[in-house]
């Protein structure tokens, strides 16, 4: 049976695992918005970086299956690379970047 039948353009037959994955990632994203701690965002950033890196590895592995003549193929690749670089920049500035000076103890 075809995963994406032509008579179901709305995707009403999404599998339970896909819906569950979307729900979990969406819930976690909302939780990060309301939690002001850096450690919460850091965890989501690490998950996102691993996911995007694995998607880029999969794209490199299956590069012959991409329609390289279409501009959106390259736009998608550039977007994934930009997200990964942006995540690395955010992590660097929050973890390794300049730390605020602490006052000396008397």
pLDDT in tens, 48-82: 889 889 989 998 998 888 888 899 989 989 999 99
Q: What is the mean pLDDT of residues 21-29?
A: 74
| CB atoms near residue 45 (< 10 Å) | 19
pLDDT mean over 34-46: 82
- Sequence ranges of the domains in the chain: 37-95
Average pLDDT rounded to a whole number, residues 82-93: 90
- pLDDT at res. 105: 73
| 91 close to 45: Cβ distance less than 8 angstroms | yes
């Amino acid at each position: 049976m075809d995963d994406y039948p032509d008579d179901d353009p709305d995707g009403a037959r999404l599998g339970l695992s896909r819906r569950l994955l979307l729900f979990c990632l969406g819930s976690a994203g909302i939780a990060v918005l309301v939690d002001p701690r850096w450690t919460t965002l850091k965890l989501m950033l690490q998950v996102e970086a691993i996911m995007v890196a694995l998607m880029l590895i999969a794209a490199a592995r299956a590069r012959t299956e991409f329609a390289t003549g279409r501009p959106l193929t390259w736009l998608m690749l550039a977007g994934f690379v930009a997200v990964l670089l942006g995540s690395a920049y955010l992590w660097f500035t929050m973890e390794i970047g300049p730390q605020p000076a602490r006052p000396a103890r008397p």
